[in-house]
Structure 1
Amino acid sequence: MVSGKNFPHITHSSFVVNIPRERVGVLIGEGGSVKAEIERLLGVSLQVDSSEGTVVISLAKPVEEGGDPASLFKARDIVTAIGRGFSPEKALKLVEDGTVLTVIDLTDYVGDSPNHLARVKARVIGTQGKTRRIIEETCQVDVSVYGDTVAIIGEYENARAAEEAVVTLVRGAPHGAVYRMLNEYARRRKTGGLYPPRPRF
């Protein structure tokens, strides 16, 4: 860990990601294990300012020496996912090609009223986690409801379907209509992976 003033000059081969300070310990892991695993898998360097929640992500090797710029994007998404409440184990699924992270900012739909945010988060989670579980199982994704966001990890088409379900719930659709939409998506996926139609309600 380094302080903000000691961060190197930020170049086109680096990303800066800000995560909640309470998630910094999860990103680092016991004895630095999670941070080290991300660095090892992707060939990147993470410099973490634990007091600010700022993470600088750089290639461990320059591109001309074999550094892969695509690894920067994957590392950025993994760090962001951990910051959005995912466990490191789930966030590391983003190492795989074709697996994407989607982050839905609930304030874009209901503003920043604590009451409105609590209401829509409860709709996405459902009683005893039922709705979130149905979205995860039907779309084969992982879902994290954290702070003012809902984040999704999964293969591209599955993540899109889960995002559509979440946004539809946030906009006020009945749960039953969304469940029917998800079931239709699951059926169509088996016969060609078609994106689900919007529900009628």
Structure 2
Amino acid sequence: MIHKVFVRIPSSRVGVLIGRGGSVKQRIEKEFGVKLYIDGNSGGIEIVLDEESKTVSDMMIAKNIVYAIGLGFSPEKAFYLAKEDAMFEVIDLEKDLGIEGAHVERLLGRVIGRDGKIRSLIEELTGCYISISDELKSIAIIGSGEGFEVARQAIRMLLEGRQHSTVFKYLFRERRRIKRMEFEFWRTPELG
């Protein structure tokens, strides 16, 4: 039985997916036991699982990596999705939230911030990667654990129109809470 999936990415991102000398494409094919058939004009990618290869879940990880690259993540950041605890979410402003026209650009701008400072702060405080695609009108998050949930909530707060200062307070408060939890987890019990 042949297992395959199809994903479409912007044709402007096909070169990044292929990589210099085909390096990114080859890495995906080798690590996940798949073959990528790429239509450079339409951006259509067919991902086929090799017959004597790995599992269907490896094919789905490869699909998510291809999709993440299409959303604007660098291949290095997209390969984070190969980790066991990795999480990936895409918020499509038009399809998921019903936002259209100039409102999309305004909301993407709120999440990006002046000179990308808001996005950078969310990434720094949560340990996540965030990609904002004006072409696809979407925001994508790659991360794991508590940091992923905090990044997701911070972005939702910005999209709901909360003030940046409110979101900053939330981020710093959650960062302290997570650090405290990590400290408690690794603290050795006192000898008595």
TM-score strictly above 0.5 = yes
Within-5 A mapping of 1:2-81:
13-61=3-51, 65-81=52-68
Which sections of structure 2, spanning at least 5 residues, go unmatched? Answer: 183-192
Contact 2:32 2:54 in 1 (8 A): no
Q: CA deviation at 1:191?
A: 3.0
1:66 CA displacement? 4.7
Aligned partner letter, 2:171 = L
Alpha-carbon distance in 2 for matches of 1:153, 1:70: 18
In structure 2, distance between residues paired with 1:159 and 1:104: 14
SS in 2 for 1:134: helix
Percentage of pairs with the same residue = 40
1:119 equivalent in alignment to 2:106 = yes
- Paired positions, count: 179
For 1:185, the equivalent position in structure 2 comes to: 174
Q: In the alignment, is the contact (CA less than 8 A) between 1:145 and 1:151 conserved in 2?
A: yes
The one-letter code matched in structure 1 to 2:78 is A
Q: Which residue of 1 aligns with 2:127?
A: 140
Q: Secondary structure at the match of 1:109?
A: coil
Q: 1:16 and 1:41 mapped to 2: Cα distance? A: 19
Are positions 1:109 and 2:97 aligned together?
yes
Cα-to-partner distance string for 1:4-26 (whole Å, 9 max, x where unaligned): xxxxxx95x21111111111111
Q: Does 1:155 align with 2:140?
A: no
**C-alpha distance after superposition, 1:137-192 (max 9, x if no partner):** 11101111112011111114322221111111011000011111111211121233
For the residues of structure 1 that align with 2:117 and 2:37, how far apart are their CA atoms?
Answer: 38
- More divergent stretch after superposition (46-55 vs 102-111): 102-111
1:175 and 1:133 map into 2 onto residues whose CA distance is 13
Shifted more, 67-76 versus 156-165: the winner is 156-165
Deviations 1:61-100 (A, max 9, x none): 3xxx452111111111101100100111111111111112
What amino acid is aligned across from residue 178 of structure 1 in structure 2? V
* Range moving further from structure 2, 140-149 or 154-163: 154-163
Letter paired with 1:124: V
Instruction: Provide structure 1 residue ranges, at least 5 long, that are not aligned to the other structure.
Output: 1-9, 194-201
Counterpart CA distance in 2 for 1:187 and 1:92 is 28
Contact 1:102/1:159 (<8 A) preserved: no
Aligned partner of 1:95 among 63, 78, 82: 82
